Amino acid sequence: MLPSAGPGKKRGATPAAASSQALQPQFTRNPSANALPPSTVIRSRFRSIAERPPTLIGARGSKRYMLDDSPSAATDRAPWSLSLETPIRASSAHTSAVPLVDTLMRPQRLFPTLSPLSDAKTSLLASAKNSDRSPARSILDSAHKESENIGRLESLKRAAEKAKFELRQVELARERDREEAQRAHQRLESELLAQTKRVEKLERDRKWLFEQEERLAEQRRAVERDLSAQRSAYESRIDEMAAANRELEQQLDDASHAMRRLKSDHLDQIDDMQIRLSRAERIATQLQASEKSDALRSRGDFSDTSSLQYTIDSLKREVQSKDQDIDELKHRLKSTMPSGENCSGAADAAVIPSRERIAQLERDLHEQCDYIKAVEQQNHQLRSETRRLAEAASLYEKEHEISCSLQAKVERLEKQQTGYADMEARLTALHQEREQWTRVFHDSDSDNSDTNPQGQNLCSPFAVAKTVATQRHTIKLLEGKLQSMQESEAATMQQQQKATNDVQSYKQKCLRLESQLSAEKTKTFQLEASKQHAVREAEFLRAQLHSYDREEASFMPGNYDEQKADRIKQLEEFIDEQRAWIVSLESSTGDIRPISADGAETVSTSLLQGYREDAEAKQHELDSLHEEHWRLQERFDKLEKETARLEHQVGSGLGYNPKTTRILQLIDNPSAQDFAIRSEKLKSLAAENEALLERIRQLERSNPAQSLSLQDASQEDAVAGDASSPYFHTIDNLRTENQELAHQLEASVKLINRYKKAWKRKVSELREVIYAILGYRVDFLVNGSVRFTSTYAADLDQSFVFTSGDDDQGVMQLSGGGSKAYLKGLSNDIRYWVQERGSIPGFMATITLQSFEAQLDQKAQ
Amino acid sequence: MSVQAQLTKGKITLRGSARIVTEFFMYGINSILFQRGIYPIEDFEVKKKYGLDIWVSSDVSVKKYLSKIMESVEEWLAASKINKLVLAVNSRETRETLERWQFDIQLVDEEEKEGEKPKPPKSEKALQLEIQAIFRQIAASVSFLPIIEEKCTFNILVYADSDAEVPTTWTDSDPLHIKNAEQVRLRSFSTDAHRVEAMVAYRRDPDLC
């Protein structure tokens, strides 16, 4: 109900209401006409003039749907306006956890419209109904509508202004966001620059470390060189000592041989001497016995053998004295009596043999004594030599022990060196691992103090394992959180996207409203113009009517209808009254319209405010989520890097816990077998080398004149069956090499067999392909020629044999065939194709075609 | 019970899964030995498996060695005492490890939460497709792995739990790690009881650094 139709002013309370109700009861059915005064039933001559607005309305009927958008229409639709989303409701809905999407999606319900089609239909119906109205009524309606339109336009203008303002605000917010993004971009660039600097610094550090590593490697190499030099020196010294040892052994052997030989010689000599001594003693005893018998004969009484020597001496003295006496006597005899010669001769003959024997015995004895002395001296010398050799042997033993100990020491040193190198490598790896773990723990401590709030000491493996487990758990939790954050971020992004879409739709709506506003403005101007025109025309017509009335009153007094003039006057007054009523109505609606427009504006403003607040809150939430996402992303990247590093460690074989995991391998594995074979081979080669060197040394030591030739030596070795002979090593090595060569030969045989199989397969494929495509069976004959038999040949002997040309350059020549008769039958073709044109393929194709046709003929027959 | 029976019957048991994984190891190791040229091509023959032509060694010693290993590995798999199997390719000259093919073995968690439906058993086709993908990757890895120009041999390491029962034919070993390594993770496959993830680590070419 219109506001003008208040309680004190009922519909139809105007002066002409009763008559209009009586005259036009059908208009009461029109709801829009309920508010019209009853004077609309008047039919006058203004119909022709007033019929224009309906056409105008009809022409612009499509715009009429805006009627329903008017605030008055909104007030008319009280039931559904209850469901209108006021900002307060929207905010309450928002606070009561109603999704923003719902609230965002509803603004179009602020100005709900009926469909243009239905509006057009209703406008057409209205125009059709209004076509029966009076022109004044139409004018009034149009004026009323115009005023409504103007009010609506104003409200739309304000709404558009508001929307523009909102749009501006949104643009400013977007500008701020853009600036924020630009600042963030600059910040990121600065961070990137810092990161780049850091990377450069790290690169420099890496280079420095690399140089350090190179320097250390150089030092290590120098140390290795020194060690190898020391090792070689030790080895050479060991070799020298071994050689000296061997020389000493040889000398000892020679000396022992010589000593044994001398000893045996001396023993033989001693035995000989003893034999001779015993013989001499026997002789001496015989002589003593004879002397004793002589003495017994001369003195008669010598029982004591111990005084034999004394007796001998005394006898000697007596013999000498007797000899002297004899000599004196001889001289006396010679001088005194010549007859005394016979007597002295007899005495001399009795004494001389005993003297000669004694002298002989004395000489023998003297010689024996000298010989015994010489033997004793020699024995003494040999004893001293033996003592010296024994000392040398003990010295050699000592040297040997020293050399053994030195060798063991060198081996131990080598082992220690390898162990040291291994330990160093392991230590380096452990240092690296420790640094990495320390870094990890430090990072994790600094980053996640909540994960290790007690500040656990990570010195024990259990604590480390526990921390690792905790870190893994934390990583999993963080990953889950990150996933949820990513999901929420995706949802927020969707919401933001939706909000952006809403802003876009609002913008479009605003544009549409602006275009509608401009259209309404144009329409308003047109309506204003038409109204002014209609008013002027009405004034003009009224003046014209008055002039007619005056003319009629003055010139045709009989025809002048007083009642009619009164009626017209009355009507004019009624029109004035209606105008006044319309003005009052407009004023009253003008009071209401701002209220409704303000209400709409308030609604839209508060709604937009609510949306803005929501958007800001969402933006804040989005920013915080972005920040959280950034932080989590960084954490995630760090953990990813750590995971990649640990994976790398695991992949390269380092990352495992030796307490819980054992790395097992089969004892008899290919690698170990290969290594064992190589070691064995190396050992045997080394032994062979050593034996050969020893042989060379022996040959060099020995006198070339007395040394045996190599042939003799090998023969000797073969005869002696010495297993340590270098030739046995060589033979063993050659056997091993022979086995390897046999293996290689087996592999070659396998390879050749595989090639043969492949060759056979390919050849058969080739033959099949030629047979299938070219129609000839190819047989490679032993003498290098090739036989071609056509698929369509009637007999097997209908074949051609091709051989290579004289130069054997791959040029084939037709050399014969399976059957001479067959070839003779083809002599024309051979001459034509092969001899004249030199085309074997052409000839073969011709033969194929001929054979094919012949086969077809045979089948047909 | 054959693998086929295990697969068609329903969900794969731990023993059946161990057999499947062991079979995969057998063929995988053979394929790696062929693709990496550890043994000459004459020592291999083609076998049809997993819908693919797989080259398998015909060398008696290699077959014997692998069967010995797989016998123990299957036992350990069935007892869930193994977590890694590594094929290390070593240089014969320097004994340095050049490549390291690692297969991580994880026991699939069988715990079922309340209210959740039990997982349906994995179909044979799905399993075969997963294994096929790994074999294809092994074959394709020749394109990015460095060319082995020296004579090489191989060794197989097993990362077993410390409380696992170890036959006397086995001994402890070092991990044969690679210095200056790069690694590429390959695809994985899983049965209802085990999950096997493959990875290859190789020595970075010093000339490229």
Which pairs from B21-25 meet CB under 8 Å and 24+ separation?
Answer: B21/B77, B21/B105, B21/B191, B21/B194, B21/B196, B22/B70, B22/B73, B22/B74, B22/B77, B24/B131, B24/B134, B24/B189, B24/B196, B25/B70, B25/B73, B25/B85, B25/B103
Tell me: the pLDDT tens digits for A90-108? 333 344 444 443 444 443 4
Q: Average pLDDT for residues B95-100, to the nearest whole number?
A: 91
| CA nearest to A675 within chain B | B92
Identity of the residue in A647, A652, A666 whose CB atom sits nearest the CB atom of B69: A666
* pLDDT value of residue B167: 92
Top mean pLDDT of A31-40, A364-373, A804-813 is at: A364-373
Confidence of residue B52 (pLDDT cuts 50, 70, 90): very high
Identity of the residue in A653, A667, A674 whose CB atom sits nearest the CB atom of B92: A674
Tell me: the pLDDT tens digits for A728-780? 777 777 888 888 899 888 888 888 888 888 889 998 999 999 999 988 988 88
Q: Average pLDDT for residues B159-184, to the nearest whole number?
A: 89
pLDDT at A802 over 80: yes
Q: What is the token pair recorded at A562?
A: 């007083």
Check B175 against A754: CB less than 8 A apart.
Answer: no
Tell me: the pLDDT tens digits for A396-423? 888 888 888 888 888 888 888 888 888 8
* pLDDT value of residue B12: 73
Check A670 against B62: CB less than 8 A apart.
Answer: yes
SS3 A826: coil
Does A773 lie at the interface with B, CB-CB under 8 angstroms? no
Chain B residues close to A652, C-beta within 8 Å: 100, 177-179, 181, 183, 201
Instruction: Give the span between the Cα atoms of A835 and B75, in whole angstroms.
Output: 79
* pLDDT value of residue B38: 93
Check B166 against A662: CB less than 8 A apart.
Answer: yes
Query: Of B146, B80, B104, nearest to A650 (Cα)?
Result: B104
CA distance A424 to chain B (A): 14
Top mean pLDDT of A53-67, A188-202, A306-320, A343-357 is at: A188-202
Check A653 against B178: CB less than 8 A apart.
Answer: yes
Identity of the residue in A654, A664, A751 whose CB atom sits nearest the CB atom of B177: A654
User: Who wins on pLDDT, A68 or A532?
Assistant: A532
pLDDT at A308 over 70: no
Can you name the residues that pair with A665 across neighbouring β-strands? B157, B171
* pLDDT value of residue B208: 58
**Which range is least confidently modeled, A204-213, A455-464, A674-683, B148-157?**
A455-464
**Which range is least confidently modeled, A214-223, A364-373, A406-415, A493-502?**
A364-373
- pTM for this entry: 0.38
Tell me: the pLDDT tens digits for A568-580? 778 878 888 888 8
Can you name the residues that pair with A340 across neighbouring β-strands? none
Top mean pLDDT of A46-50, A115-119, A354-358, A455-459 is at: A354-358
* pLDDT value of residue A349: 53
- Are A751 and B43 in contact, with CB atoms under 8 Å apart? no
* pLDDT value of residue A461: 67
CA distance B155 to chain A (A): 6
Identity of the residue in B155, B173, B199 whose CB atom sits nearest the CB atom of A670: B155
* pLDDT value of residue A520: 87
E strands present in A786-826: 786-790, 799-804, 812-817
User: Who wins on pLDDT, A847 or A42?
Assistant: A847
Total Cβ atoms within 10 A of residue A153: 21
Confidence of residue A13 (pLDDT cuts 50, 70, 90): very low
- Are A479 and A642 in contact, with CB atoms under 8 Å apart? no
* Helix (H) / strand (E) containing A702: none
- Are A652 and B174 in contact, with CB atoms under 8 Å apart? no
* Helix (H) / strand (E) containing B103: strand B97-107
Confidence of residue A446 (pLDDT cuts 50, 70, 90): low
Instruction: Give the span between the Cα atoms of A542 and A556, in whole angstroms.
Output: 19
Identity of the residue in B92, B102, B160 whose CB atom sits nearest the CB atom of A664: B160
Mean pLDDT of all residues belonging to chain A: 74
Mean pLDDT of all residues belonging to chain B: 87
Identity of the residue in A654, A661, A753 whose CB atom sits nearest the CB atom of B159: A661
Instruction: Give the span between the Cα atoms of A547 and A831, in whole angstroms.
Output: 133
Site of tokens 């051609």: A800
Residue B103 falls in which region: left (phi positive, over 0), alpha (psi -120 to 50) or beta: beta
Class of A774-860 in CATH: alpha beta
Check A665 against B155: CB less than 8 A apart.
Answer: yes
* pLDDT value of residue A125: 46
CA distance A449 to chain B (A): 32
Site of tokens 């937009």: A608
Confidence of residue B130 (pLDDT cuts 50, 70, 90): very high
CA distance B160 to chain A (A): 5
Rounded to 5°, the CA angle A812-A815-A819 comes to 135
Identity of the residue in A651, A662, A674 whose CB atom sits nearest the CB atom of B153: A674
Tell me: the pLDDT tens digits for B17-35? 999 999 999 999 999 999 9
* pLDDT value of residue B166: 92
pLDDT at A74 over 90: no
Confidence of residue B134 (pLDDT cuts 50, 70, 90): very high
* pLDDT value of residue A315: 66
- When scoring B75, B177, B199 by the number of chain A Cβ atoms within 10 A, the one with the most, hence best to mutate, is B177
Chain A residues close to B90, C-beta within 8 Å: 671
Instruction: Give the span between the Cα atoms of A136 and A124, in whole angstroms.
Output: 19
Instruction: Give the span between the Cα atoms of A726 and A734, in whole angstroms.
Output: 12
**Which range is least confidently modeled, A249-263, A408-422, A479-493?**
A249-263
Site of tokens 């499947």: B20
pLDDT at A17 over 80: no
By CB neighbour count within 10 A (0-12 exposed, 13-18 middle, 19+ buried), where does A71 fall?
A: buried
* pLDDT value of residue A10: 38
Chain A residues close to B177, C-beta within 8 Å: 652-654
Tell me: the pLDDT tens digits for A698-739? 888 875 555 445 555 555 555 445 555 666 777 777 888 888
Supply the DSSP symbol for A751. Answer: H
* pLDDT value of residue B155: 95
pLDDT at A661 over 60: yes
Instruction: Give the span between the Cα atoms of B191 and B19, in whole angstroms.
Output: 11
**Residue percentage of chain A with pLDDT more than 90:** 4
Q: Average pLDDT for residues A445-450, to the nearest whole number?
A: 55
pLDDT at A672 over 70: yes
* pLDDT value of residue A23: 38
Which pairs from A323-329 meet CB under 8 Å and 24+ separation?
Answer: A323/A351, A323/A355, A326/A351
Spatial neighbors of B105 by CB under 8 A, at least 6 apart, are B21, B77, B82, B83, B84, B85, B194, B195, B196
* pLDDT value of residue A499: 87
Tell me: the pLDDT tens digits for A257-293? 887 887 788 778 777 777 877 777 777 677 767 666 6
* pLDDT value of residue A344: 46
Query: Of B164, B167, B31, B169, nearest to B101 (Cα)?
Result: B31
Check A671 against B154: CB less than 8 A apart.
Answer: yes
* pLDDT value of residue A809: 65
Chain B residues close to A665, C-beta within 8 Å: 155-158, 170-173
Residue A136 falls in which region: left (phi positive, over 0), alpha (psi -120 to 50) or beta: alpha
pLDDT at A38 over 50: no
SS3 B84: strand
Q: Say how many CB pairs under 8 Å bridge A and B.
A: 114
Tell me: the pLDDT tens digits for A620-658? 888 888 888 899 989 999 988 888 888 777 776 777 788
